[in-house]
Amino acid sequence: MVAMALAGVAVVGMTSACDVDLRDHECMSDEYPVQAVGPEGGSACATNGHEPDAGYVRYPAGQVPQRVGDKWDVYWQSHGLDAAGHLIKN
């Protein structure tokens, strides 16, 4: 019983030292999110300091999803970007 209580305290201590928002980040800390070109979109991650791979573009400034399910993640699931990073009108 004591071991279970100590294990619970350890888990609480570890999670409090981490990000308190438990939603998943879009990318790892050394990456940034990018979107596939075209009306269907689709996201991926590019390495910080490098341009996106062919067929992907950066999100417009201020409209970059940070976490799965956040405002911009939901928005970009139904909106696309062209090769210049401009919104595709549906």
Report the range of poorest mean pLDDT among 1-10, 40-49, 61-70.
Answer: 1-10
What pLDDT score does 9 carry?
46
Give the structural domain span for 30. 25-90
Residue 2 domain flag: no
Sheet holding 43-47, edge to edge: 43-47, 31-36, 56-58
Q: Is residue 69 in a domain? A: yes
Share of the chain above pLDDT 90, in %: 68
Nearest to 88 by CA among 32, 33, 40, 34: 40
Tokens (6 digits) for 54: 């062919």
pTM: 0.71
Report the number of distinct structural domains present in the chain. Answer: 1
Q: Which residues lie below 8 Å from residue 85, measured CB to CB, with a gap of 6+?
A: 57, 58, 59, 60
Is 33 inside any structural domain? Answer: yes
Lowest mean pLDDT, pick from 3-12, 24-33, 39-48, 65-74? 3-12
What is the SS3 assignment for 33?
strand
- 81 domain residue, yes or no: yes
- What whole-number distance in Å separates Cα of residue 30 and Cα of residue 76? 22
**Interval 25-45 mean pLDDT:** 93
Residue 12 belongs to a domain: no
pLDDT for position 89? 79
